[in-house]
């Protein structure tokens, strides 16, 4: 919220200066123009921030970023995620947040419903220095990819086992050093209410790093597209369970995957029973 607060303060100052020098001194105050100036100022400051980051990225080669996530870009990534969450009108109902490990490395996993849930989760968990593993296609985008590399995000090529293994090894080393890693075991959006089968090789990260697995459930994100931009969308984020390393160290990745998926299915059934506002018919994203 830091960046948003700065935008608000700067926009209020800009609006106040405009009203005073352009309208008040001329004896003709139009209150609706103050609203317009405020909104335009918010957008302008956001775009200036993006331009500033683009210029900074020109001096940071991608190949040097994958093993050296910077606090600078991580900060801006989480702050922009907070702003986009508000822009898309996403209101998050949080459950069991106190269960998240404090001052401890962990592998965060959750189901994946929509394009919007990664944005919301990154903003929600901004206090944790989480680096997500993402599709290599996203990481190849000229500006977005370079930014995500600098923030410590890792690409995974699902069609190349050798490259995927390299990412798993890099992620496990990063996690072993204490930086939390986030991943979607489904590999892609479900676009439905269902939780797809997992790509279980990803659980090697937790085993190699001797780290616990934090199992999280998200729900109702598939309704954002239908409601935006005219209505807010209530969504859910629940920390279901923290599985200690001792419980998974002797298991196969398939056994770990089945355990995590069953935890998600049980929690999904519970939250849908207790939260009638969750829509049962998803909209394709």
Residue 68 confidence (pLDDT) above 80: no
User: Within 13 Å, how many C-alpha atoms sit on residue 91's CB side?
Assistant: 7
Count other C-beta atoms under 10 Å from residue 60's C-beta: 16
pLDDT at 71: 84
Kindly state the average pLDDT of the residues 1-19.
93
Could you tell me which of 149, 148, 108, 147 has the C-alpha nearest to residue 125? 108
The yes-or-no verdict on residue 9 having pLDDT over 60 is yes
Task: Look at residue 90 in the predicted model and tell me its pLDDT.
Answer: 97
- pLDDT tens column, 269-280: 999 999 999 987
The domain locations on the chain are: 2-56, 89-274
Biggest alpha carbon–alpha carbon distance for the chain:
78
Q: What is the pLDDT of residue 24?
A: 82
User: Which DSSP state fits 272?
Assistant: H
**Which among 133, 278, 112, 145 has a CA at the least distance from the CA of 206?**
133
Residue 66 pLDDT:
56
Nearest to 281 by CA among 238, 217, 223: 223
Structure tokens at 241: 């369970």
| Alpha carbons 253 and 181: distance in angstroms, whole number | 17
User: What would the mean pLDDT of 225-246 be, rounded to a whole number?
Assistant: 95
What's the chain's average pLDDT?
A: 90
pLDDT confidence tier of residue 63, bands split at 50, 70 and 90: low
Check residue 236 and give its pLDDT.
97
All residues at 6 or more sequence positions from 277 whose CB lies less than 8 Å from its CB, including other chains: 220, 234
The arrangement of secondary structure in 89-274, i.e. its CATH architecture, is 3-Layer(aba) Sandwich (3.40)
List pLDDT tens digits, range 12-56: 999 999 998 988 888 887 888 999 999 999 999 999 999 998 898
Helices then strands, counting H and E runs in the chain, come out as 11, 7
Question: pLDDT per residue over 185-217, tens digit each?
Answer: 998 888 778 899 999 999 999 999 999 999 999
Q: What is the mean pLDDT of residues 95-117?
A: 93
Distance CA 252, CA 235 (A): 33
Asked if the model's pLDDT at residue 233 lies above 90, the reply is yes
pLDDT of residue 285: 47
């Amino acid at each position: 919220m830091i960046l948003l607060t700065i935008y608000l303060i700067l926009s209020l100052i800009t609006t106040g200066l405009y009203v005073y020098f352009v309208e008040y001194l001329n004896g003709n105050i139009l209150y609706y123009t103050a609203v317009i100036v405020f909104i335009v100022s918010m957008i302008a400051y956001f775009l200036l921030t993006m331009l500033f980051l683009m210029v900074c990225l020109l001096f940071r080669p991608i190949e040097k970023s994958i093993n050296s996530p910077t606090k600078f870009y991580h900060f801006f990534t989480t702050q922009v995620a907070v702003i986009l969450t508000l822009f898309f009108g996403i209101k998050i109902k949080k459950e069991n947040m106190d269960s998240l490990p404090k001052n401890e490395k962990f592998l965060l996993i959750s189901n994946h419903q929509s394009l919007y849930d990664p944005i919301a989760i990154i903003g929600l968990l901004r206090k944790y220095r989480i680096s997500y593993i993402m599709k290599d296609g996203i990481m190849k985008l000229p500006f977005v990819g370079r930014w995500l590399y600098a923030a410590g995000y890792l690409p995974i090529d699902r069609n190349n086992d050798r490259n995927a293994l390299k990412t798993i090894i890099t992620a496990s080393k990063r996690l072993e050093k204490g930086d939390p890693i986030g991943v979607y075991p489904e590999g892609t959006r479900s676009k439905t209410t269902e939780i797809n089968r997992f790509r279980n090789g990803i659980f090697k990260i937790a085993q190699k790093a001797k780290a616990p697995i934090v199992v999280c459930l998200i729900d109702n994100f598939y309704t954002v597209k239908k409601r935006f931009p005219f209505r807010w969308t209530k969504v859910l984020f629940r920390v279901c369970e923290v599985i200690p390393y001792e419980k998974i160290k002797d298991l196969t990745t398939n056994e770990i995957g089945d355990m995590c998926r069953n935890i998600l299915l049980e929690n999904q059934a519970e939250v849908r029973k207790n939260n009638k506002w969750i829509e049962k018919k998803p909209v394709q994203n």
